Chain A
Amino acid sequence: AQSVTQLGSHVSVSEGALVLLRCNYSSSVPPYLFWYVQYPNQGLQLLLKYTTGATLVKGINGFEAEFKKSETSFHLTKPSAHMSDAAEYFCAVSSGAGSYQLTFGKGTKLSVIP
């Protein structure tokens, strides 16, 4: 069984500051990892995903995440926050090996202060 822990249910950053959203996972098999974003009154949209290969993954809107197996982490970063980044962010894990279901974290709400 797999699980996802997102540290911090709410993160506030100033516009132009670094965004760091933390995600740690637990999986008994090599995981596939995802970050989704949810804007108000909308469904979830994929930001980026890690499957195999390069551990630094680039996504949409300037976000990137690094898979660190030794730390079982997949933290999401963006060098400079923009007001439009204010949303809720969800980390998710798929256990692979024929599974196509995702286990989601509780989400982190990002606020961007002008």
Chain B
Amino acid sequence: ETGVTQTPRHLVMGMTNKKSLKCEQHLGHNAMYWYKQSAKKPLELMFVYNFKEQTENNSVPSRFSPECPNSSHLFLHLHTLQPEDSALYLCASSQGASGGPYNEQFFGPGTRLTVL
């Protein structure tokens, strides 16, 4: 595997379900990100991890719970979601703070989430 991978690619869940999204990067990066992409809205940065430490939480509801066990893996745990949470969830990685402010973010293909 190369680059940034995300699983599953598609997920349908009910409002009472608990599920997790997984992201893995094979680029040796130190920073990982979760974004939400909804129709007609800009990309919304949700969480940022740098060297496994959460450095940003953009007022995301507690029904979204991130986990970063190491610099290569990032999870997004989902529980009691709402229909408006249906979106494409993108994971990205970059060199992070040590790589400078112009370092490129590499994106995974995303997980298309539908909440019924």
Contact = CB atoms under 8 A, between A and B. Distances in A.
B16 interface: no
B107 A106 contact: no
B104 A46 contact: yes
Contacts of B4: 43
Nearest to A29: B101
Taking residues whose C-beta sits less than 8 angstroms from the other chain, chain A's interface range is 20 to 34
B74 to A, nearest CB: 14
A18 B93 CA distance: 33
Nearest to A50: B102
Contacts of A107: 42-43
Contacts of B71: none
A97 B101 contact: yes
B102 A96 contact: yes
A56 interface: no
B109 A43 contact: yes
Interface string B42-58: 11010010100000100
B20 interface: no
Given A41-B109, A43-B109, A100-B31, A106 B101 contact: no
B70 interface: no
Contacts of B48: 101
Given A43-B107, A43-B108, A104 B42 contact: yes
B94 interface: yes
A106 B110 contact: no
Interface string B83-116: 0000000101011110111111111111000000
Interface of A: 9, 32, 34, 36, 41-46, 49, 51, 90, 94-102, 104-107
26 contacts: A34-B104, A42-B109, A42-B110, A43-B107, A43-B108, A45-B107, A46-B105, A49-B102, A90-B43, A94-B101, A94-B102, A95-B101, A98-B97, A99-B101, A100-B50, A100-B94, A100-B95, A100-B97, A100-B103, A101-B45, A101-B48, A101-B56, A102-B45, A104-B43, A106-B40, A106-B41
